[in-house]
Structure 1
Amino acid sequence: MQLVEKHMAVLSNDAIRLQEYGVGVFERIATKSALKKAIKKKMIFVNDKVATTATFIKEGDKIEYRFDQNDDTRKKFRLKLPIIYEDDYLAIINKPAGIVVSGNNFKTVANALCQNLNPSSIHDAAKPQPAHRLDFATTGLLLIGKTSSVIKELNRLFEFKEVQKSYYAVTIGAMEPKGEVNLQVDDKEACSIFEVLETIPSIRFNYLNLVKLSPKTGRRHQLRKHMLAIGNPILGDATYFKQGLMLKGKGLYLHAQSLQFIHPKTYQEMYVDTTLPVKFNKLFRSIS
């Protein structure tokens, strides 16, 4: 028996190649390589005609993915994800520690989204996709797109730095009350703002600080690298640490605490935050 997934194209710009538009449109085709294979096998149709790698997509085109029922043998990754906010266009989840957001692995946040989120009723509904990344060990808020047009718009918001993010971290050692770190990461300009909210004495680490971090750029491991660079590595960091000051077994004390942006469809100003993990509360009275 042949099954069909359908999608109606929504474009705000000129026509683009199917290979660019089609990634993430269908639940079973999450990567460019998977889309290319489906096209090669003549499983993708545009306006009832077999698509090719040269096919362009324009506003209103009907795209179909036709596959045999026996081919749908995928294992499903079961992972409960706390949903902080959800509507038909986007969602915000609270990412747990110890899992990657996306990639070639089976166990990713991206592969668990469909089982946790409600299907979108919008005509360009797509497989939910994370709009940004959090490190494997980092917890906290992750923004998800649920339609093709919103996925593209969220990517644009991040590209033009129109999403404000704040993190909470526990850092090691004496710190200035607040400051700005401007140090290149991977040979690219990078800027992080920090503010110490509370400091407690520690026998092993001398001082531990509850710090609010606001990245102004989005480089890989930026906050972790910047805190180590100023002599105050993040507690529990197994990669960026000072010799003899690495805490094992408790995980990384870095949490994506808030997101602020303009909703790409309702144009409402969104501000979403979440409570800190219990391990933060055990250290600092101000958040207990």
Structure 2
Amino acid sequence: MKLKEQHKVPQLEQPIRLQEYGIGIFTTNPTRSGFKKAIKKGLVLVNGKTATTALFINGGELIELLQEESNKKAFDFPLEVIFEDEYLAVIFKPAGVLVSGNSFATIANALEQNLKKSTLKDAVLPRPVHRLDYPTSGLLLIGKTNTATIALTKLFEVKEIEKTYHAITIGNMKSSGEITIPVDDKESQSQFTVLQSIPSEKYTFLNLVELHPKTGRRHQLRKHLHGIGNPILGDKEYYIEALLSYGNGLYLHASKLEFTHPFINQKLIFEKELPKKFKRIFPDLLNQSL
């Protein structure tokens, strides 16, 4: 195992249990539960010896945190990297790939080979900080250090990351509006604007819609649009009988991310053009930037 971080204990007024003293001394494992887990895995040394949760610290000891060896095989899957620095990255997630989970073929398992390892002392394996559904394409935000992942997660929690989606929906639809249908019994809010509509023999109308989720519930946009009678084209979970399309997957795309970089305090805006399948239905998009 490789050394990740080390800490020299100053003189203490009285002994303290290692698992209590160690909270926050390492940037890559700052929490009580995280540090306790590292001790139990044998990843913490005190004066060169494997520590236990029963050990007391008296002062003057050298505490070392080791890097756990991983036998996890990387998923050989090239990704389009939109942006990358020492703290974070933005990548394009294709439709039909899981972001994370127990499966081998996930975006999370492909990140290490597609991104440069951060040189910062709290560098970790890059990991997604939010979700995109399996059939959804678009921009995905990645944390490359422990502090960056925590900071980006906090930005999502306080709603300081603005996400824009585009979808093609079915049926006659109002030009704009707000949907507040609860999702999983939780308050939920989405705003929509219809950009274009075209007549359809099968669906009456097909609509190109811009969407702004103000909350982040699971399947929120898909449930909200289905809830107002305008499901997303190709949605096999939230659909209207006889109007289910099996052709080209789900027509939902995470097209834009806006937020202030938590470490350099710079406003960042990332956009990803709509997939070709959108442009086949709305050919005018070929000459537009959304």
The question of a shared fold, defined as TM-score above 0.5 by the shorter chain, is answered with yes
**One of 216, 221, 224 as aligned partner of 1:223:** 221
SS at match of 1:168: strand
Matches of 2:164 and 2:255 in 1, distance apart? 6
Matches of 1:264 and 1:133 in 2, distance apart? 20
How far the C-alpha of 1:18 sits from its partner, in A, is 9.2
What residue number does 2:209 align with? Answer: 211
2:149 partner amino acid? I
**Does residue 243 of structure 2 align to residue 245 of structure 1?**
yes
Matches of 1:129 and 1:53 in 2, distance apart? 29
Residues 75-86 of structure 1 correspond to what in structure 2 (within 5 A)? 75-86=73-84
What residue number does 1:120 align with? Answer: 118
How far the C-alpha of 1:40 sits from its partner, in A, is 3.3
SS at match of 1:287: helix
What residue number does 1:26 align with? Answer: none
What residue number does 2:169 align with? Answer: 171
Matches of 2:92 and 2:47 in 1, distance apart? 39
Matches of 1:47 and 1:236 in 2, distance apart? 60
SS at match of 2:281: coil
Alpha carbons of 1:66 and 1:135: their partners in 2 closer, same or farther (altered >3 Å)? closer
Alpha carbons of 1:66 and 1:100: their partners in 2 closer, same or farther (altered >3 Å)? closer
SS at match of 2:278: helix
Larger Rg: 2
Q: Is the 8 A contact 1:124 1:147 kept in 2?
A: yes
Q: Is the 8 A contact 1:8 1:124 kept in 2?
A: no
What residue number does 2:16 align with? Answer: none
How far the C-alpha of 1:44 sits from its partner, in A, is 3.9
Matches of 1:66 and 1:169 in 2, distance apart? 42
Residues 37-76 of structure 1 correspond to what in structure 2 (within 5 A)? 39-45=39-45, 48=48, 50-52=50-52, 62-65=64-67, 73-76=71-74
**Does residue 155 of structure 2 align to residue 157 of structure 1?**
yes
Matches of 1:43 and 1:118 in 2, distance apart? 25
Q: Is the 8 A contact 1:171 1:234 kept in 2?
A: yes
What residue number does 1:16 align with? Answer: 23
- Aligned Cα RMSD in Å? 2.8
Matches of 1:8 and 1:255 in 2, distance apart? 44
What residue number does 1:280 align with? Answer: 278
Q: Is the 8 A contact 1:81 1:94 kept in 2?
A: yes
SS at match of 1:282: helix
How far the C-alpha of 1:73 sits from its partner, in A, is 4.3
How far the C-alpha of 1:5 sits from its partner, in A, is 4.9
Alpha carbons of 1:241 and 1:124: their partners in 2 closer, same or farther (altered >3 Å)? same
Alpha carbons of 1:4 and 1:248: their partners in 2 closer, same or farther (altered >3 Å)? same
Q: TM-score, normalised by structure 1?
A: 0.83
Q: Is the 8 A contact 2:223 2:238 kept in 1?
A: yes
**One of 135, 138, 161 as aligned partner of 1:137:** 135
What residue number does 1:100 align with? Answer: 98
Q: Deviations over 1:191-225 (max 9, x none)?
A: 00000001111111111000000000000000000
The alignment-based identity, stated in percent, is 50
Residues 18-37 of structure 1 correspond to what in structure 2 (within 5 A)? 22=29, 36=37
Q: Is the 8 A contact 1:99 1:107 kept in 2?
A: yes
Alpha carbons of 1:236 and 1:42: their partners in 2 closer, same or farther (altered >3 Å)? same
**Does residue 112 of structure 2 align to residue 110 of structure 1?**
no
Q: TM-score, normalised by structure 2?
A: 0.83
SS at match of 1:158: helix
2:221 partner amino acid? L
What residue number does 2:145 align with? Answer: 147
**One of 86, 89, 92 as aligned partner of 1:91:** 89
2:79 partner amino acid? L
How far the C-alpha of 1:16 sits from its partner, in A, is 3.4
How far the C-alpha of 1:65 sits from its partner, in A, is 2.4
